Structures are given as structure tokens and as C-alpha cells.
Amino acid sequence: MINILVLFNAGVIYAQEDRSIFYRKEHIIQPHISTNGYGISFTSAKKRTIDNYFYWKVSLSELKHRKEIKGVNPNYPNQRQFIFGKVNHAYPIGLSIGFHKKYILKNNARAIGIRYYYGAGIEAALLKPAYYQIELVYSQDSSRVLTAQFDPEKHNVNNIKERSSWFEGIAETNLAPGGKIEVGAIVDFSGKEERIHGVGISSILQVFLLPVEILAGEPERRFYFGFSLSYVWGKILDYSDTGKSGKNHSGWGMLKKY
């Protein structure tokens, strides 16, 4: 009975460790794949209450169309692959804010922590035109190759030789401003108390003021909704309170390793 009581009390004391630390930050990196492409984000979260964190996040991704398929011209099987009908490469860059809620606290290295989060912010898609190497055949012995954007009335899989360099058309990049809403969850199974290591899932709604065209012949869309799966890696940092009395969160303070 004494042993059981000692172990129970120790567990209760240890379980309160996360709740007893009021000045904590978390830095999280999340590369992800989604139904609309792939990308990476960096999140900085600051503890505000016992199990609530305020966060800001920056993200970079590539927006893809679900019908994109890579292939080669059968006459030039050794040339670079291309996506038939690609009009623009779309790269959304975003800045968002929101809240993390720790649903199950991770209080030791062998435990699993679960949190959910929600947020919204601004986002702008960089639209870089896609270019192809087009072969024009005049006769059996006469032809030339020119660099051009895709034209559905003139180009087909037989006269596209290969894709052009990614840097072709970079000076013609346009901007499509907009915003996004994200809701997700993270499962943390890190074996180190000062680290965050796990997986995340989320749903994201992206809205753009201007239509974003990715593939020729497909409807231009302003709304993109999808689901993502991410790898989560992060670090926990505690800091000392440098503020005035009565203010629990007066500044970032001096950081120290947890």
C-alpha cells in the first residue's frame, strides 16, 4: 500500500509539471503532403493558459491540380518529363495566427500527447507561367524547336519535346492574394521531454481573390479545399518572466533550454 501511494503521488506531481510551467514556447516545423500538393511550415507557439497556446505560422507550398500527370513525348523518351496542359506553377505563401489546445498532455518521455489547433490568415499565390520546348516540323528534314507556353489549339503530346527550364518565365510571375482557414491535430510521441516529434493531420480551405489557373481546359478556381498529412518536429523552450507584477505574459523574456 505504501509503494502504491508513493507511486500514485509521484505520478500526480509529475503530471502537473506541464501545467505548472507558465512561460513556455514551442517551435515546430511541419513538412506536409496534401490532396492539393505539398509544402512546409514553421510555427511559433506561446503558452497563454494551462493548456492553451497562441501561435503564428509561416508556410510555403505548391498548389497542384488533381489531374496533373507527368509524361514524355514517345518520339523523345530520354527528354525531360512534362505535365501536359500545365499553364501555371502556383506557390502559395501564407502567414496565419491561431490557437493550440492540448487535449492530452504529454508528461513524460513514454507518454503520447494530443493537441488540436485552428487558425486563419492571409495567403498569396505566386503564379509562374509554365513553358515547353515545342518542335515545329516543316518537312521530313526540316524542323526547329521554340520555347512557348501551352496552347491547346496548337500543341499536343507529339509536338511537345520536353518541359523548359523552371526559370523560364520567372520574370512574368503574377500574384493572386487571398486567405486561408486551417483546422488540425498533432500526435506527439517524442522520446525526449524537450522535443516534439510526431505526425499531424489537417483540413485547409484556401480562398483567392483572383482565379488560379493551373491546367488548361480545366475550370479556373478561387476555392481550394483539401486534407494534409505532416511530419512534425519541434523544440520546447521555457523562459523566465521579466514583466511586472500582476502580468503573467509581459514579454518573451530570457530563453533557457527546458
Confidence (pLDDT) at 21? 62
Inform me whether the pLDDT recorded for 115 exceeds 50.
yes
Count Cα atoms within 13 angstroms, Cβ side, for 103.
10
pTM of the model: 0.78
Mean pLDDT of 166-182: 94
- Over pLDDT 90: what percentage of the chain? 49
Give residue 8's pLDDT. 36
> How high is the pLDDT of residue 188?
94
Tell me, what's the pLDDT at 217? 85
Residue type, 28: I
Could you give the C-alpha distances from 99 to 55, 88, 181, in angstroms and in order? 6, 34, 12
Tell me: the pLDDT tens digits for 23-75?
Answer: 789 999 999 999 999 999 999 999 988 789 999 999 999 999 988 888 888 88
Kindly state the average pLDDT of the residues 202-229: 92
Q: Please state, in angstroms and rounded to a whole number, the distance separating the CA atoms of residues 230 and 178.
A: 23
Residue 181 has pLDDT above 70, yes or no: yes
Residue 124 has a pLDDT of 95
Of the pLDDT bands very low, low, confident and very high (cuts 50, 70, 90), residue 105 is: confident
DSSP assignment string, 134-202:
EEEE-SSS-EEEEEE---TTT--TTTEEEEPPTTTTGGG-EEEEEEEEEEEEEEE--SSTTEEEEEEEE
- C-alpha closest to that of 228 among 30, 31, 35: 35
The pLDDT assigned to 92 comes to: 96
Degrees (nearest 5) of the Cα angle 197, 39, 37? 125
Tens digit of pLDDT for each residue in 134-171? 887 766 676 788 888 988 888 888 888 888 999 999 99
Query: Which CATH code of 1.10.760.10, 3.40.50.1820, 2.40.50.840, 2.40.160.20 fits the domain covering 2-257?
Result: 2.40.160.20
